């Protein structure tokens, strides 16, 4: 009888304990599901959910621990305030300890919490490092389970991405060689995350990029430029770009891995991010030296880059436009390669108003680099109507245009100011090499700002004395008349002295009678003389007129 009572009591106690365990598990699962929706964040935060989940991280039941950690990670992932609250609640040391002691499921959840906290700001990422998370995470990179290594690499990448100090802490923890080993694993998702983390480390400084290179990662990444997995391809191109951007030596290390011409095929990938990252990689290599730019040209890359510019829109265009500008800037032969590849029409299209100002500024800069070498290049740009377009951009984004619109000059955005500067400099560079006077006619107008007009008039003054055919054409096109109108308009202006010097040189190419004929008011002078003759005839008779 007593045994039966005892057995019944044990069942009752066990039932209570089982119910308690099920309720705890159900609670953490429901909270984790609620944390998936950002709309629930405020209610969960005001309910003090962190203090309720904290003791469950040390629960005796592993599944409850995992669900509690998952819930905290999701909460921190959505909201920086929650991440701050988790730091303030001293939860991190417990999670860091668990990364070394618990099973693989809990390690994944704990790494997720660290990642969710670290992603928001350098301050929060530093808090995870101060709690010892990096050492524990680096140890987890040696775990047998690939999903644990994936979660760990992700967290390390989020810590390293903020600044060089945190990336250096990752290097000091010994994570780089282990991340390189992850690149060699068969699991695609792990290779993607490892490549991304290495990219986040390398981007900050030449020293960190060199540390990544010293771990022998380039020979592993280079063959993956042509992998069929687009997500991995994105990260590989990004990582190589972050390495190559710092110094000539690092860029040459990347090039020596034989990424050309393979990387050009990535510009035709159906994946937008692959195309953009490949374009960035080419840009970061090209910018350093004439030899690297020449290598891109010799590998057939310019045609691929021009096609990419024509087919892309928005931010994705920028690295390819910059590549064309870098290539054209080094040598006139390289600029000619851009012209031959039909780079000028593609860049002209990028100047269209439908594009953002920073894209148009980059295109203006690139066109200036093409046209600044010699008169043949400038002639190609003139034939493409680049000069009127540049003048329009320079005027439309000038402080004077802002004032006309009722805005202070400070009302121009940084992008508009940059576009104004780039367009004005490009226009000046092209004008200085333009020998075709007819190409200057459309911009030789009184409405042209004097700070640009002086360059146009100066170029005409340089060309006309040495070109008889151009002198005649300049008269018949109305250019000489406009020069006299400009001289008259700016006679008493602050800019008049500079313009007068150039106009005097132009006028010296023609007889004085022609200059007087095209000067403002000359018609009125002739009519006045005619009136004088008529008055004389009326007063003194025909004989006086004849005499």
The arithmetic mean of pLDDT across residues 154-182, rounded, is 93
CA distance linking residue 270 with residue 542, whole number of Å: 90
* Higher-scoring residue by pLDDT: 29, 261: 261
User: 115 burial class (0-12, 13-18, 19+ CB within 10 angstroms)?
Assistant: buried
Which one, of 353, 283, 354, 282, lies nearest residue 322 by Cα? Answer: 283
Question: Does position 137 have pLDDT exceeding 80, yes or no?
Answer: yes
Question: Does position 15 have pLDDT exceeding 80, yes or no?
Answer: no
What proportion of the chain, given as a percentage, has pLDDT over 70?
89
Question: Does position 521 have pLDDT exceeding 70, yes or no?
Answer: no
CA distance linking residue 98 with residue 88, whole number of Å: 18
User: 187 burial class (0-12, 13-18, 19+ CB within 10 angstroms)?
Assistant: middle
In the structure, what pLDDT confidence band is assigned to residue 440 with cuts at 50, 70 and 90?
A: confident
What proportion of the chain, given as a percentage, has pLDDT over 90?
39
The arithmetic mean of pLDDT across residues 113-133, rounded, is 89
Residues in the chain: 547
Give pLDDT tens digits for 199-226: 999 999 999 999 999 999 999 999 999 9
pLDDT for 545: 47
Q: Is 261 part of a structural domain of the chain?
A: no
Which one, of 184, 122, 106, lies nearest residue 159 by Cα? Answer: 122
pLDDT for 337: 94
Q: Is 38 part of a structural domain of the chain?
A: yes
pLDDT for 398: 74
Counting runs of H as helices and runs of E as strands, what totals does the chain give? 37, 0
Q: Kindly report the number of other CB atoms within 10 A of residue 26's CB atom.
A: 12
Scanning 131-174, the segments in alpha helix (DSSP H) are 133-140, 146-160, 164-172
Q: Is 385 part of a structural domain of the chain?
A: no
Give pLDDT tens digits for 369-396: 999 999 899 999 998 989 889 888 888 8
The arithmetic mean of pLDDT across residues 398-417, rounded, is 64
The arithmetic mean of pLDDT across residues 305-322, rounded, is 92
For the chain, what percentages of helix, strand and coil (3-state, to nearest 5) are there?
80, 0, 20
Q: Is 492 part of a structural domain of the chain?
A: yes
| Residue at a domain's end among 181, 216, 251 | 216
Q: Kindly report the number of other CB atoms within 10 A of residue 409's CB atom.
A: 12
Give pLDDT tens digits for 537-546: 556 655 554 5
Q: Kindly report the number of other CB atoms within 10 A of residue 528's CB atom.
A: 11
The arithmetic mean of pLDDT across residues 13-37, rounded, is 76
Question: Does position 85 have pLDDT exceeding 60, yes or no?
Answer: yes
Q: Is 159 part of a structural domain of the chain?
A: yes
For 508, which DSSP code?
A: T
pLDDT for 400: 66
CA distance linking residue 109 with residue 257, whole number of Å: 38
The pTM of this model reads 0.84
The arithmetic mean of pLDDT across residues 135-154, rounded, is 89
Look at 24-38, 192-206, 515-529 and tell me which has the smallest mean pLDDT: 515-529
In the structure, what pLDDT confidence band is assigned to residue 91 with cuts at 50, 70 and 90?
A: confident
* Higher-scoring residue by pLDDT: 277, 407: 277
How many structural domains are present in the chain? Answer: 2
Is the distance from CB of 115 to CB of 158 less than 8 angstroms? yes
Is the bond into 261 cis (omega within 30 degrees of 0)? yes
Look at 33-42, 86-95, 317-326, 428-437 and tell me which has the smallest mean pLDDT: 33-42
CA distance linking residue 339 with residue 68, whole number of Å: 61
| Residue at a domain's end among 180, 201, 216 | 216
* Higher-scoring residue by pLDDT: 11, 501: 501
pLDDT for 29: 78
Interior angle at CA 184, CA 179 and CA 190, nearest 5:
60
**Which backbone phi and psi does 513 adopt, to 5 degrees?**
-65, -40
Give pLDDT tens digits for 233-271: 999 999 999 999 999 999 999 999 989 889 999 999 999
pLDDT for 349: 92
CA distance linking residue 547 with residue 544, whole number of Å: 5
Torsion from C-alpha of 251, 255, 182, 212, nearest 10 degrees:
-20
pLDDT for 181: 93
CA distance linking residue 443 with residue 452, whole number of Å: 9
User: 430 burial class (0-12, 13-18, 19+ CB within 10 angstroms)?
Assistant: buried
Three-state secondary structure of 217-245: CHHHHHHHHHCCCHHHHHHHHHHHHHHHC
- The residue segments making up the domain with residue 498 are 435-547
The helix (run of H) or strand (run of E) holding residue 208 is helix 206-214
CA distance linking residue 395 with residue 393, whole number of Å: 5
| Residue at a domain's end among 199, 216, 233 | 216
At 188, list the tokens: 């695609």
pLDDT for 231: 93
Rounded to the nearest integer, the mean pLDDT of the chain is 85
Is the distance from CB of 78 to CB of 35 less than 8 angstroms? yes
Q: Is 184 part of a structural domain of the chain?
A: yes
Give pLDDT tens digits for 40-52: 777 777 777 777 8
pLDDT for 252: 94
The arithmetic mean of pLDDT across residues 65-94, rounded, is 82
Is the distance from CB of 264 to CB of 220 less than 8 angstroms? no
Phi-psi region of 159 (alpha: psi -120 to 50; beta: other; left: phi over 0): alpha
In the structure, what pLDDT confidence band is assigned to residue 163 with cuts at 50, 70 and 90?
A: very high
Q: Is 251 part of a structural domain of the chain?
A: no
pLDDT for 92: 82
Question: Does position 488 have pLDDT exceeding 50, yes or no?
Answer: yes
For 39, which DSSP code?
A: G
Look at 23-27, 207-211, 232-236, 429-433 and tell me which has the smallest mean pLDDT: 23-27
Which CATH number is 210's domain given? Answer: 1.25.10.10
The residues near 517 (Cβ < 8 Å, ≥ 6 apart) are none
In the structure, what pLDDT confidence band is assigned to residue 526 with cuts at 50, 70 and 90?
A: low
Q: Is 255 part of a structural domain of the chain?
A: no
- Residue-wise DSSP of 60-83: SSHHHHHHHHHHHHHHHHH-HHHH
In the structure, what pLDDT confidence band is assigned to residue 10 with cuts at 50, 70 and 90?
A: confident
């Amino acid at each position: 009888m007593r045994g039966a009572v005892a057995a019944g009591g044990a069942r009752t106690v066990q039932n209570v304990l089982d119910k308690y365990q099920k309720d705890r598990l159900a609670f953490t699962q429901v909270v984790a599901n609620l944390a998936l929706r950002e709309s629930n964040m405020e209610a969960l935060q005001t309910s003090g959910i962190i203090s309720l989940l904290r003791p469950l991280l040390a629960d005796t039941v592993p599944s409850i621990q995992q669900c509690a950690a998952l819930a905290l990670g999701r909460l921190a992932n959505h909201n920086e305030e929650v991440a701050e609250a988790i730091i303030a609640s001293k939860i991190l040391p417990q999670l860091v300890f668990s990364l070394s002691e618990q099973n693989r499921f809990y390690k994944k959840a704990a790494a997720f919490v660290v990642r969710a906290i670290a992603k928001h700001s350098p301050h929060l990422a530093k808090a995870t490092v101060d709690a010892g998370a990096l050492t524990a995470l680096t140890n987890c990179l040696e775990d047998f389970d690939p999903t644990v290594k994936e979660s760990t690499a992700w967290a390390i990448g989020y810590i390293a991405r903020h600044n060089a100090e945190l990336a250096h802490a990752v290097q000091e923890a010994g994570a780089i060689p282990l991340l390189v080993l992850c690149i060699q694993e068969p699991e695609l998702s792990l290779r993607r995350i490892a490549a991304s983390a290495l990219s986040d480390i390398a981007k900050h400084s030449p020293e960190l990029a060199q540390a990544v290179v010293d771990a022998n990662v380039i020979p592993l990444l280079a063959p993956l430029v042509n992998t069929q997995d687009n997500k991995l391809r994105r990260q590989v191109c990004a990582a190589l770009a972050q390495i190559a951007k710092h110094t000539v030596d690092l860029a040459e290390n990347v090039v020596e891995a034989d990424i050309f011409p393979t990387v050009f095929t990535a510009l035709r990938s159906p994946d937008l991010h692959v195309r953009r990252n490949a374009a960035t990689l080419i840009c970061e290599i090209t910018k350093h030296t004439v030899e690297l730019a020449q290598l891109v040209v010799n590998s057939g890359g310019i045609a691929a880059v021009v096609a990419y510019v024509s087919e892309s829109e928005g931010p994705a265009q920028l690295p390819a436009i910059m590549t064309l500008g870098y290539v054209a800037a080094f040598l006139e032969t390289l600029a000619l390669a851009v012209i031959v590849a039909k780079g000028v029409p593609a860049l002209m299209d990028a100047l269209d108003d439908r594009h953002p100002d920073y894209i148009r500024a980059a295109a203006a800069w690139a066109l200036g680099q093409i046209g600044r070498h010699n008169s043949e290049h400038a002639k190609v740009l003139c034939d493409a109507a680049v000069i009127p377009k540049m003048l329009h951009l320079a005027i439309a984004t000038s402080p004077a245009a802002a004032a006309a619109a009722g805005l202070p000059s400070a009302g121009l955005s940084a992008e508009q100011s940059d576009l104004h500067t780039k367009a004005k400099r490009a226009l000046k560079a092209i004008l200085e090499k333009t020998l075709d006077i007819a190409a200057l006619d459309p911009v030789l107008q009184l409405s042209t700002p004097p700070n640009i007009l002086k360059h146009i008039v100066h170029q005409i003054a340089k060309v006309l004395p040495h070109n008889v055919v151009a002198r005649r054409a300049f008269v018949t096109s109305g250019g000489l008349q406009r020069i006299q109108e400009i001289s008259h308009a700016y006679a008493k202006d602050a800019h008049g002295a500079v313009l007068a010097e150039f106009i005097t040189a132009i006028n010296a190419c023609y007889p004085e009678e022609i200059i007087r004929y095209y000067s403002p008011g000359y018609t009125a002078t002739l009519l006045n003389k005619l009136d004088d003759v008529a008055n004389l005839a009326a007063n003194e008779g025909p004989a006086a007129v004849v005499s």
